[in-house]
Structure 1
Amino acid sequence: MTSSTSAAGFAVLLAFAPGCAGGDEPPAQGIAELGTGEWQFEPLVDGQEVELAHGAQGGWHVWTSVRTLGLEPEGVELEVTTTVIGDPSSATTSRGRIALEELEDGRCEFIGWPAVLREPACAIGQTLRIRGVVTDARGTVATGERLVRPRWDSDEACAGRP
């Protein structure tokens, strides 16, 4: 990591550091911005429509990307949870190890994580929360989330749901 990246990350960590009250200290905090995009980062805003993509193994997902500040790029774990607002049983979580790509401005990004939906037809017309938690090898954590509306052109029924 370059010194300008380290300096930017250190400034972010200081801004979120807790006071010296003793006891167990929470993990250091970074910053995460959730976006979409399979090939490039595309920013998301709350309420935006997102296209559902059909996966190679038959499932449906929303392409999710993340930009971070204050995290080391190697040894990173990404956890993404999708939940239809008002339906906690719809929550689906996927996680895995990723390598963040360093950008010239000190941020890092990962592009193209498939945020899976358990019952995609049930999410159409609903508000979907996509929450990403990024943790680097030092234990620094960055969290971001967006509320989006899935778009899907299909006549498939919402199987097994009222």
Structure 2
Amino acid sequence: MTVPRAPGALLAMLVLCAAGCASGCASEDADALVVVGLTTDMAVGFELDRVESTTKVDGVIARVESRSYGGGELSLPAELAVGPAHDGAEIALTVAAFRGREASPVVTRRAATRAVGGRTLLLPVSLDEACSAASCAASATCAEGACVDPFIAPSALADHDPAWLASARDACKTPSAGLPAIVVGQGERAFAPLEDGEVVPIEAGPQGGHHVWLALRVEGLRQMGSRLTVGGRFPELAFELLPFTSQITLRKAGDAGCEIYGIRFQVDRGLPVESVRGRALDVEIALEDPDGDVATAAQRVVISP
């Protein structure tokens, strides 16, 4: 199977530690934490490929990080943990998102707050497509297409709860997406519709075997980290093809939601290729995202004689 490269490991946490006494903290009162909830409505791996972040505590650079999708390090939404810091410490964050090898960021976002002793604050930071063409004054930052003050008072922030990730903004799992659903199509380099019972060609793979190219249109599931399972059955032969699983990354497809193409499904695993030519094949597909939401679909195709 060939699919757009998925991250080698999900980015559950980027640990950005404050710079100890250089930031003015004292060990006896360094009990304040801030967790940055980083989200985007852009497709990671397609519209942005790299995120660079700089964190300051009381004006002192505490950590500089660079995470790339190509390196298997970047998955969004993600958490950036800052601390421990002393009560009242100013936490300031700058995040820049880059596409491909472009030198200029697609979006730059700044955010700031103050740490509060005894609390772990959740500071939401979004990288918004609507901000890609925005220009704000030096004292402002862009959020959801508008120029706003980067500072958010700690009294306006909720305490951190990891459950926020399940409802975080996403390039594919949007509020308007509705229930999880997938439509089975075909195509190696683009999505093309596939009618039930349609005759599909097969081709020889580079490592032996013969395969069809499948594609999916997807709604209501996360853009990154969903687990794809593809199986099939030849009813006339009473033969089940062993399913395979893969972690995938979806791309946005405009008003059509999100999609993936180039799914290579071998149709002669355990069978002579001549025995499957002209036969009906019932393809079964399941897609489960990191939140546990699942969509399934079945499609009958006929292998080209």
TM-score tier after normalising by the smaller chain length: 0.7 to 0.9
Secondary structure of the 2:223 match is coil
Residue aligning to 1:100? 250
User: Letter of the aligned partner of 1:72 in structure 2?
Assistant: R
Residue aligning to 1:52? 202
**Cα distance in 1 for residues equivalent to 2:242 and 2:204:** 16
Q: How does 1:4-83 map to 2 (within 5 A)?
A: 6-9=174-177, 12-13=178-179, 30-83=180-233
Q: Mean Cα displacement is larger for which, 77-86 or 31-40? A: 77-86
| Alpha-carbon RMSD | 1.9
Secondary structure of the 1:105 match is helix
Residue aligning to 1:109? 259
Residue aligning to 2:237? 87
Q: Mean Cα displacement is larger for which, 49-58 or 88-97? A: 88-97
User: Letter of the aligned partner of 2:293 in structure 1?
Assistant: T
Q: Is the 8 A contact 1:82 1:115 kept in 2?
A: no
**Cα distance in 2 for residues equivalent to 1:148 and 1:121:** 16
**Cα distance in 1 for residues equivalent to 2:210 and 2:232:** 12
Q: Is the 8 A contact 2:217 2:256 kept in 1?
A: no
Q: Is the 8 A contact 2:236 2:279 kept in 1?
A: no
Q: Is 1:121 matched with 2:274?
A: yes
**Cα distance in 2 for residues equivalent to 1:150 and 1:7:** 38
Deviation at 1:106, TM superposition (A): 5.7
**Cα distance in 1 for residues equivalent to 2:274 and 2:290:** 37
Of structures 1 and 2, the one with the larger relative CO (CA 8 A, separation 6+) is 1
Secondary structure of the 1:122 match is helix
- For structure 2, the residue ranges without an aligned partner over 5 or more in a row are 1-39, 42-168
**Cα distance in 2 for residues equivalent to 1:133 and 1:84:** 18
Q: Mean Cα displacement is larger for which, 79-88 or 133-142? A: 79-88
- For structure 1, the residue ranges without an aligned partner over 5 or more in a row are 14-29, 153-162
Deviation at 1:121, TM superposition (A): 2.2
Residue aligning to 1:136? 289
Tell me: CA distance 1:62–1:106, structure 2 relative to 1, closer, same or farther (3 Å): closer
Q: How does 1:141-152 map to 2 (within 5 A)?
A: 141-152=294-305
Deviation at 1:54, TM superposition (A): 0.7
Identity %: 28
